[in-house]
Amino acid sequence: MKIGYLGPKGTFTEMAARGLYQKGEFLPYRTIPSCMDAVATEEIDLAIVPIENAIEGTVNLTLDYLIHKQRLPIVAGITVPIVQHLLVHPSNEQLKNIEKVVSHPHAIAQCHDFLQTQLPEAEWEYMNSTAAAAEYVAEHPDLSVAAIANELAAKEYGLQINHSDIHDYSHNRTSFVVLRKQAYQMKIDGPTHVEDKTTLMVTLPSDFSGALHQVLSAFAWRKLNLTKIESRPTKTGLGNYFFIIDVQGTMDEVLIPGVISELEALGCGVDILGSYPCFSLAYSKANA
Ligand SMILES: O=C(O)C(=O)C[C@]1(C(=O)O)C=C[C@@H](O)C=C1
pLDDT at 25 over 90: yes
Q: Residue 284 falls within a domain, yes or no?
A: no
Measured CA to CA in angstroms, residue 153 lies from 47, 140, 177, 218 at distances of: 20, 15, 21, 46
The answer on 33 and 73 residing in a single domain is yes
The answer on 75 and 15 residing in a single domain is yes
> Which DSSP state fits 247?
E
Listed range (97-111, 125-139, 202-216) with the worst mean pLDDT: 202-216
The answer on 135 and 29 residing in a single domain is no
pLDDT at 138 over 50: yes
Atom of ligand 1 lying closest to residue 104 CA? 5
Residue 132 belongs to what domain range? 85-163
The answer on 256 and 132 residing in a single domain is no
Q: Whose CA is nearest to atom 15 of ligand 1?
A: 107
Phi-psi region of 207 (alpha: psi -120 to 50; beta: other; left: phi over 0): left
The answer on 268 and 224 residing in a single domain is yes
The answer on 128 and 182 residing in a single domain is no
Q: Residue 285 falls within a domain, yes or no?
A: no
Choice from 11, 31, 148, 175 to test ligand 1 binding pocket (greatest atom count within 8 A of CB): 11
Give the list of residues 6+ apart from residue 284 with CB closer than 8 angstroms, or none.
none
- Give pLDDT tens digits for 171-222: 999 999 999 998 877 778 778 999 999 999 999 987 777 888 999 999 999 9
DSSP string covering 166-220? --SSSS-EEEEEEEESS-------SSEEEEEEEEEEEEPPSS-TTHHHHHHHHHH
Confidence of residue 96 (pLDDT cuts 50, 70, 90): low
104 lines ligand 1 (CB under 6 A): yes
- Give pLDDT tens digits for 229-275: 999 999 998 888 899 999 999 888 889 999 999 999 999 999 999 99
Q: What is the pLDDT of residue 288?
A: 45
The closest alpha carbon to 201, from 254, 255, 279, 275, belongs to 275
Which comes out higher in pLDDT, residue 182 or 34? 34
User: Of the candidates 114, 146, 163, which is a domain's last residue?
Assistant: 163
Number of structural domains in the chain? 3
- The CATH code of the domain that includes 46 is 3.40.190.10
Residues 74, 57: Cα–Cα separation, whole Å: 19
The answer on 184 and 65 residing in a single domain is yes
Q: Residue 69 falls within a domain, yes or no?
A: yes
The answer on 33 and 20 residing in a single domain is yes
Q: What is the pLDDT of residue 286?
A: 47
The answer on 109 and 40 residing in a single domain is no
Q: Is the interface score ipTM higher than 0.90?
A: yes
DSSP H helices in the chain: 12-20, 32-40, 60-68, 105-110, 112-118, 130-139, 151-156, 211-220, 255-265
The answer on 188 and 56 residing in a single domain is yes
- The CATH code of the domain that includes 204 is 3.30.70.260
